[in-house]
A and B are shown apart, each in its own frame.
Chain A
């Protein structure tokens, strides 16, 4: 197994333990505010340098953690999984000062040795960043920090979340998503008229049947998957803009809300099972999975119909969009009562995920088809509206200009030309065309639920600012 895979497995186990221990404690109304620090560092003064990892947590979000139970699980992990069992070095407390200054005293501190530091490469850091970014997308209430100290060099990164949105799950605690949109608004958009966030849409929860061979391994109870889609950028306030879906990013999360990493054969080949014609697109192609092992799930490129129109240049503008499709795995078993049971269950789910998905191929494919179709339905409706606007605009312009051109009323003609600040009817035609296209395409209708005002960091709060059901 790749050395990085093992390292990530350990980190994920620690995170899983922390997340499960708080989830078990309180089903609803979890405090979600606080900080999480992943600190990679090298220890000096030994015969060889090893890379250590410290996971620290502080703030209200981890007050519900049952420390005894968590400690027991972490001890087991250290003995069974960690590469370098035995006493682990602890980080210099000075390195954690900045973190505790922000979030208060530490509620959790776990350290373990990862790999021989000589095996370190920048690729490791990139993968770790990607993993933690994916973690913060679905745990946006927790401020995630990554700190790296190697050879006296220190790098720090905060996975800052500008806009959060709570999504309720059936019979499960809500999830706080990062819905910040990083797309810059086009130049013609006025200040305060661009939604800087997204509006997650919860799909239907899909029960999953557990294959017999997985049950034999000890996985019982009820398993399901909850899809949530997030379209970005949001153009709800611009009803006449044409949109074009270019990418779909599929992210899978375990019941503890920790990202499931690793390439998934099942999701890679799913485009072959989708009816693209029914969806209204030319095709879906899975991106190369070279980068998918640790990073952002599975990415599909959406191939749209190539509309060849001689007048295509004169068509109204369109906005490219992408969809983030979250798949939250959910599990419940009334016969499990210990944190260690939850840890074991989750390990089983992740280990047998391909088998579970294959066992439910038709249902999962249909569910994904439905989610993508709903996104494309809106896009297709906009396209139809655009075509209507486009053909009507041509008639309006030609009819208006024809009246101006053949009028013998000098006052009328001059009034029209002066109004548009042009010299003749030819320029008038071009100027009217540009203006009419602009006012029709960029028609703006403010929506209360959009994040259009000048944004600032949201203050710390137990409740996220918006809730979406």
Chain B
């Protein structure tokens, strides 16, 4: 394609970019990239927790830990510029050391705090998997470690990356893109990324970084089903579980490129490529429609209501039923050319 053709292809995208730059408050990098919480701050936070435990024992009281409740919608507020974020003064869950039902979790938390303390102190890193394998009997499962690391991140009010605990890779980025890491390492990749389902924090951070640095529109191409829509909402508005880090993870400018429920009708996708919604799908769809951020997205609401009415869903692959290369040769170029996003 010649330069004129490329410009024409992306003219609508360029208009969108200008509109977003005017409407969305873009903070300078030095404010957005938070920062590295200092090592000393992390160590002091952990020391304060241990001192709390020692002080309780000195008074012959059972130590308790207070964790902000990361699973309750009651602790969440919606800000259109940020997405879902945890409110201050949110409800907490107390973990007691004198109760058999919670003492194991108490021990797991203190153990991981001691691991993090050593990592930060020695400026070394470990993955969540490493932590699990350091004491599989104590932790029981990888998911227990993952959850506690996020709990500690929320409790200390620092991003997980500041705890020197890494996640194992999930997302994949590819395309005509290269960037320099802080330590000077140059990374060559491509310009589209996939989170492989529900995105992990690193995938979300990457997308966020692309927006912050390049200010290019971010389009979501997801399956036309409630799960796909939820994945897209996580990128755009965030999750309840990670709401305490919303300001560094969400990309409120994400646009829904496809696969739209209205596309299925418009393109007359063959019926045998369509799948009836299950009870679970319908329940999730109803739940999504009640989310606070949908009120500011009437186009998204309409698409989701259409899905409710037709009671069918479809994967991106269903476009292959029209033609094998329909997605890449027709669907995506036309969507970008004619602004077919909502």
Interface, chain A (partner B; CB < 8 A): 240, 384-385, 388-389, 391-393, 395-396, 399-400, 402-404, 406-407, 409, 412, 415-416, 419-421, 428, 432, 435-436, 438-440, 443
Chain B residues with Cβ below 8 Å from A419 are 51, 54-55, 58
Q: Is the CB of A403 within 8 A of B60?
A: no
Chain B residues with Cβ below 8 Å from A440 are 62, 97-98, 103
Chain B residues with Cβ below 8 Å from A421 are 58
| A391–B138 CA distance with the chains assembled, in angstroms | 9
Is B277 at the interface (CB under 8 A from chain A)?
Answer: no
Among A403, A420, A436, contact of B97 (Cβ-Cβ < 8 Å): A436
Is B299 at the interface (CB under 8 A from chain A)?
Answer: no
| A416–B108 CA distance with the chains assembled, in angstroms | 21
* Nearest CB in chain A to that of B137: its residue: A391
Sort A-B residue pairs by CB-CB distance and give the 9 closest, nearest first: A385-B100, A399-B114, A392-B107, A395-B107, A435-B57, A392-B103, A419-B58, A399-B110, A412-B47
Chain B residues with Cβ below 8 Å from A391 are 107
Chain B residues with Cβ below 8 Å from A388 are 100, 103-104
Is B50 at the interface (CB under 8 A from chain A)?
Answer: yes
Q: Is the CB of A399 within 8 A of B111?
A: yes
Among A384, A389, A420, contact of B54 (Cβ-Cβ < 8 Å): A420
Among A393, A407, A432, contact of B47 (Cβ-Cβ < 8 Å): A407
Is B327 at the interface (CB under 8 A from chain A)?
Answer: no
| New A-B pairs, 6, CB < 8 Å, besides A392-B107, A419-B51 | A389-B98, A395-B135, A399-B111, A403-B50, A403-B114, A416-B51
Residues in B246-277 with C-beta less than 8 Å from chain A:
none
* A392-B98 CB under 8 A given contacts A399-B113, A403-B47, A432-B54: no
Residues in B19-65 with C-beta less than 8 Å from chain A:
43-44, 46-47, 50-51, 53-55, 57-58, 60-63
Among B50, B97, B111, B121, contact of A416 (Cβ-Cβ < 8 Å): B50
* A409-B62 CB under 8 A given contacts A392-B106, A432-B57, A439-B57: no
Chain B residues with Cβ below 8 Å from A428 are 54
Chain A at the B interface: mostly helix, strand, loop or mixed? Answer: helix
Q: Is the CB of A435 within 8 A of B103?
A: no
* A439-B114 CB under 8 A given contacts A395-B138, A396-B97, A407-B47: no
| A416–B103 CA distance with the chains assembled, in angstroms | 22
Q: Is the CB of B98 within 8 A of A439?
A: yes
Q: Is the CB of B47 within 8 A of A439?
A: no
| A396–B104 CA distance with the chains assembled, in angstroms | 9
Q: Tell me how many residues of B have a C-beta within 8 Å of chain A.
A: 33
| A395–B105 CA distance with the chains assembled, in angstroms | 11
* Nearest CB in chain A to that of B102: its residue: A392
Among B47, B60, B107, contact of A396 (Cβ-Cβ < 8 Å): B107
| A409–B62 CA distance with the chains assembled, in angstroms | 25
Q: Is the CB of A395 within 8 A of B100?
A: no
Residue of B53, B58, B103 contacting most chain A CB atoms (<10 Å): B103
Chain A residues with Cβ below 8 Å from B138 are 395
Q: Is the CB of A409 within 8 A of B110?
A: no
A423 to chain B minimum Cβ distance, whole angstroms, is 15
Is B157 at the interface (CB under 8 A from chain A)?
Answer: no
| A395–B138 CA distance with the chains assembled, in angstroms | 9
Among B44, B97, B113, B118, contact of A409 (Cβ-Cβ < 8 Å): B44
Chain A residues with Cβ below 8 Å from B51 are 412, 415-416, 419
B43 to chain A minimum Cβ distance, whole angstroms, is 7
Chain B residues with Cβ below 8 Å from A395 are 107-108, 110-111, 135, 138
A274 to chain B minimum Cβ distance, whole angstroms, is 29
A-B contact pairs, 16 of them (CB 8 A): A384-B100, A388-B104, A391-B107, A399-B114, A400-B54, A404-B50, A406-B117, A407-B47, A419-B58, A420-B54, A428-B54, A432-B57, A435-B57, A439-B97, A440-B62, A443-B98
* Nearest CB in chain A to that of B40: its residue: A409
| A243–B31 CA distance with the chains assembled, in angstroms | 59
| Count of chain A to chain B residue pairs whose CB atoms are closer than 8 Å in the complex | 99
B138 to chain A minimum Cβ distance, whole angstroms, is 6
Residues in B54-113 with C-beta less than 8 Å from chain A:
54-55, 57-58, 60-63, 97-100, 103-104, 106-108, 110-111, 113
Chain A residues with Cβ below 8 Å from B55 are 419
Chain B residues with Cβ below 8 Å from A393 are 103, 107
* Nearest CB in chain A to that of B104: its residue: A392
* Nearest CB in chain A to that of B48: its residue: A412
B133 to chain A minimum Cβ distance, whole angstroms, is 16
Among B54, B57, B103, B121, contact of A406 (Cβ-Cβ < 8 Å): B121
Q: Is the CB of B57 within 8 A of A436?
A: yes
Q: Is the CB of A403 within 8 A of B46?
A: yes
A121 to chain B minimum Cβ distance, whole angstroms, is 54
Chain B residues with Cβ below 8 Å from A402 are 114, 117-118
* A240-B100 CB under 8 A given contacts A395-B107, A432-B57, A439-B57: yes
Residue of B55, B61, B100 contacting most chain A CB atoms (<10 Å): B100
Chain B residues with Cβ below 8 Å from A436 are 57, 63, 97
Q: Is the CB of A240 within 8 A of B98?
A: yes
Among A385, A396, A407, A416, contact of B43 (Cβ-Cβ < 8 Å): A407
Interface string of B189-200 (1 = CB under 8 A from A): 000000000000
Residue of B53, B54, B108 contacting most chain A CB atoms (<10 Å): B54
Chain B residues with Cβ below 8 Å from A432 are 54, 57
| A440–B106 CA distance with the chains assembled, in angstroms | 13
Chain A residues with Cβ below 8 Å from B58 are 419-421, 435
| A415–B99 CA distance with the chains assembled, in angstroms | 27
* Nearest CB in chain A to that of B122: its residue: A406
| A419–B47 CA distance with the chains assembled, in angstroms | 14
* Nearest CB in chain A to that of B60: its residue: A439
| A428–B106 CA distance with the chains assembled, in angstroms | 20
Chain A residues with Cβ below 8 Å from B50 are 400, 403-404, 412, 416
A212 to chain B minimum Cβ distance, whole angstroms, is 53
Chain B residues with Cβ below 8 Å from A406 are 117-118, 121
Q: Is the CB of A403 within 8 A of B57?
A: no
| A224–B57 CA distance with the chains assembled, in angstroms | 54
* A403-B113 CB under 8 A given contacts A440-B62, A440-B97, A440-B103: yes
Q: Is the CB of A396 within 8 A of B62?
A: no
Chain B residues with Cβ below 8 Å from A389 are 98, 100, 103
* Nearest CB in chain A to that of B96: its residue: A443
* Nearest CB in chain A to that of B105: its residue: A392
Interface string of B113-135 (1 = CB under 8 A from A): 11001100100000000000001
